[in-house]
Amino acid sequence: MIYQQLLKTAKQKGSNFLALLDPDKCKKQDAAKIGQALNDAGADGILFGTSLLMSNKIDDTIKALKQNFKQPVIIFPGSAYQVSQHADAILYLSLVSGRNADLLIGEQVKAAPMLKASGLEVIPTGYMLIESGKLTSANYMSHTMPIPRDKSDIAMAHALAARMLGMKLIYMDAGSGAQNSVSEEMISGVAKYAELPVVVGGGIRTPEEAGAKARAGATAVVVGNILEKKGNIKTAAEFAKAIHFREKTNRG
For the chain, give every domain's residue range. Answer: 2-244
Higher pLDDT, 67 or 229: 67
Fill in the amino acid letter for 2. I
d(CA 86, CA 89): 9
CATH classification for the domain delimited by 2-244, as one of 3.30.70.20, 3.40.190.10, 3.30.2020.30, 3.20.20.390: 3.20.20.390
What is the structure's pLDDT at 173?
Answer: 98
Q: Are 201 and 173 in contact (CB under 8 A)?
A: yes
C-alpha distance from residue 38 to each of 30, 31, 89, 147, 165 (Å): 12, 10, 18, 32, 34
What is the structure's pLDDT at 248?
Answer: 66
> To 10 degrees, the CA torsion angle through 141, 64, 243, 74?
50
pLDDT in tens, 147-202: 999 999 999 999 999 999 999 999 999 998 899 999 999 999 999 999 999 999 99
What is the structure's pLDDT at 81?
Answer: 87
What integer best gives the mean pLDDT of the chain?
A: 94
- Give the lowest-confidence range in 8-17, 26-35, 65-74, 190-199: 26-35
What is the structure's pLDDT at 54?
Answer: 79
Asked whether the predicted pLDDT for residue 249 surpasses 80, the reply is no
Q: Are 57 and 31 in contact (CB under 8 A)?
A: no
Among residues 222, 186, 230, the alpha carbon closest in space to that of 49 is found at 222
Q: Judge residue 142's burial from the number of C-beta atoms within 10 Å of its C-beta, 0-12 exposed, 13-18 middle, 19 or more buried.
A: buried
Q: pLDDT over 90 for what percent of the chain?
A: 86
pLDDT in tens, 98-157: 999 999 999 999 999 999 999 999 999 999 999 999 999 899 999 999 999 999 999 999
